[in-house]
Amino acid sequence: MARQKECAVLEGHLMPDHVHMQISIPPKYAVAQVVGYIKGKSAIHIARTYSNVRRNFVGQHFWARGYFVSTVGRDEKTIREYIRRQEAEDKRQEQMRFV
């Protein structure tokens, strides 16, 4: 999906309730346009693959409306490490809530 917009997913990690991705987006595309496209196409793909929905579903929602975006400059390595460690960090934070 990202390739159709000349983008590349450089890093990614799927969590139970959200996704972390580092995406390279050409300057000719707006970030909101690319994120909306990826969310829309992936929701349709997931519905068709796992819910046996063969037509586009109207009025149903798979992704939350919002998203967080930050630019990566000189700290690309730091961002990639953050994405890789996020699951362990979420588990650590959850355990601290029960202490």
What is the pLDDT tens value at each position of the chain, 99 positions in all?
Answer: 566 678 888 888 887 778 888 888 898 999 899 988 888 888 888 888 877 666 666 666 777 778 888 777 777 888 888 888 877 777 777 777 776
3-state DSSP assignment of residue 15: coil
User: Measured between alpha carbons, how far is 68 from 5 in angstroms, rounded to an integer?
Assistant: 19
- Residue range 2-97 forms a domain whose CATH class is alpha beta
User: Measured between alpha carbons, how far is 80 from 11 in angstroms, rounded to an integer?
Assistant: 6
- Per-residue tokens: 77: 């390595």
